[in-house]
Amino acid sequence: MNSLVPETSLKRIVIIGGGFGGIELAKRLSKKLYQVVLLDKNNYHTFQPLLYQVATGGLEPDSIAYPIRKIFSGYQNFIFRMAEVYSVRSKGCLLETDLGEIKYDYLVLATGSTTNFFSNIAFENNSMPLKSVPDALNLRSLLLQNFEKLLTEKNVVEREKHFHIVVVGGGPTGVEIAGALAELKKHVLPIDYPELKIEELNIHLVESSGKLLAAMSDNSSKTAQHFLKKMGVQLHLNTAVTSYINETAILNPAGEIKCSTFIWTAGVKGQLINGFKDDAVTKSSRLKVDSYNRITGYDSIFAIGDLAAMKNADKEAYPMLAPVAIQQAKNLARNLNLQDNRKWNVFNYKDLGSMATIGRNKAVADFHHLQFRGMFAWLIWMFVHLMSIVGFRNRIVVLVNWMWNYFSYDRAIRLIIRPYKKNTNV
């Protein structure tokens, strides 16, 4: 046990997860008061809002990923371990990991969210999620491999499958990747594959409700819908996907679509770790917390971000968004640095607004009573995302790529580095 984390006279705070919340918390905790131990199964932080651009060839993964050790270079009493946590043993204040047991005085879970397939095995086994860098690279490879296959495929049925892409979920990720695919179809693929009739490529966006971007205003939703239709995306609102087997998506009531690319962005759930009582866990695999982010029934264990189901004034859980995670991390760090829990502040979320981009010069943004759309909203979206990326180099790389893509109408990073192979045993 001692070899995993150096012993110290300071109290130890272990943070699980190197996402937005985990990184912010680790930065702000006093290293004079605590030994801070950060655990993550990856050795890098991912800027998830731009994963869809990696998947569609606009950015390389190293421009939205940043080494955790580099973020905390020079920090005293900070330890990072690349580890996967299996379970929490609260009675002994121990974590079971693939490296062994790690003891804690305080524990903060910032594990974020994972794709929710709603217990549908067919979706889980056969669809393409988009929650991590490997997911984005897999999708990029699959898209490009399908176009390469089309050049030599003689079977009419197989060719038809490759000419249909189905995106399930009309939230920000679904809308953004559908728009990016539409731009690929218009500006890039006709040049790369002049032998193919790229105009026959069909991009389908399926949403079970009657509204895209459900969390945003009606005006923003209608604007996004208008933009996507203008870009040639086929919208299927009030439509449920009931199955995807043998590269055939069954839509109710729209019928079936044979497609070799089936992208799932329809839902997320908390990335839960074993060891918690059932009454502390919600149906969406989130942990119930009080207004201090302390998990119900556990005095020294906290949860922040997507995993934390904290109720707002309307008795609804805060949305699973990066700003929520960052603000909760700041408040929790302040409270823990005070040490005296009688002086702790309750969490109050400041809604900074929401945005989504559909394509070049096309975006929507809601800021309280102000709503923007079109090019101005697109510029706001670019600025906010650019400034949120970790690392000066990454900001420059992303900005240069965006400028190149904008003026050249090109997506330069169309490389099949790691060919994707579908699991044919399911």
Over residues 383-424, the pLDDT tens digits come to 999 999 998 889 999 999 999 888 887 776 788 988 998 775
Mean pLDDT along residues 320-344: 95
Token reading at 117: 């397939």
Over residues 105-136, the pLDDT tens digits come to 999 999 999 999 999 999 999 999 999 999 99
Kindly report whether the peptide bond that precedes residue 49 is cis, defined as omega within 30 degrees of 0. no
Question: Own/partner pairs for 286-291, CB < 8 Å, 24+ apart?
Answer: 286/317, 287/109, 291/346, 291/347
**Residue 3 pLDDT > 90, yes or no?**
no
Q: Which pLDDT score is estimated for 2? A: 47
Mean pLDDT along residues 306-321: 91
Chain centroid, CA 67 distance in Å: 18
Mean pLDDT along residues 145-157: 94
Taking a C-beta distance cutoff of 8 angstroms, is the pair 111, 297 a contact? Answer: no
Q: Which pLDDT score is estimated for 200? A: 94
**Mapping DSSP to helix (H, G, I), strand (E, B) and coil, where does residue 248 land?**
strand
Nearest to 60 by CA among 49, 71, 70, 50: 50
Whole-number Cα distances in Å, 148 to 159, 253, 330, 410, 419: 11, 32, 48, 18, 12
Rounded CA separation 36/282 (Å): 28
Mean pLDDT along residues 46-65: 95
Nearest to 190 by CA among 178, 199, 182: 199
**Residue 426 pLDDT > 60, yes or no?**
no
From the list 176, 183, 207, 247, the catalytic residue is 176
Over residues 202-250, the pLDDT tens digits come to 999 999 999 999 999 999 999 999 999 999 999 999 999 999 999 999 9
Taking a C-beta distance cutoff of 8 angstroms, is the pair 262, 127 a contact? Answer: yes
Q: Which pLDDT score is estimated for 424? A: 56
Mean pLDDT along residues 269-283: 96
Mean pLDDT along residues 152-157: 93
Token reading at 16: 């699980």
Over residues 293-307, the pLDDT tens digits come to 999 999 999 999 999
**Residue 89 pLDDT > 80, yes or no?**
yes
Q: Which helix (H) or strand (E) holds 328?
A: helix 322-338
For 316, list phi and psi in degrees, rounded to 5: -115, 150
- Partners of 364 in beta bridges: 356, 373
Reported as a pLDDT band with limits 50, 70 and 90, residue 1 is very low
Rounded CA separation 399/9 (Å): 45
Reported as a pLDDT band with limits 50, 70 and 90, residue 340 is confident
| 124 in catalytic set | no
Reported as a pLDDT band with limits 50, 70 and 90, residue 258 is very high
Radius of gyration of the chain from its Cα atoms, rounded to whole angstroms? 22
Average pLDDT, the chain: 94
The number of residues in the chain equals 426
Token reading at 44: 């890098």
Vertex 335 angle, CA 331 and 338, to 5°: 145
**Residue 316 pLDDT > 90, yes or no?**
no
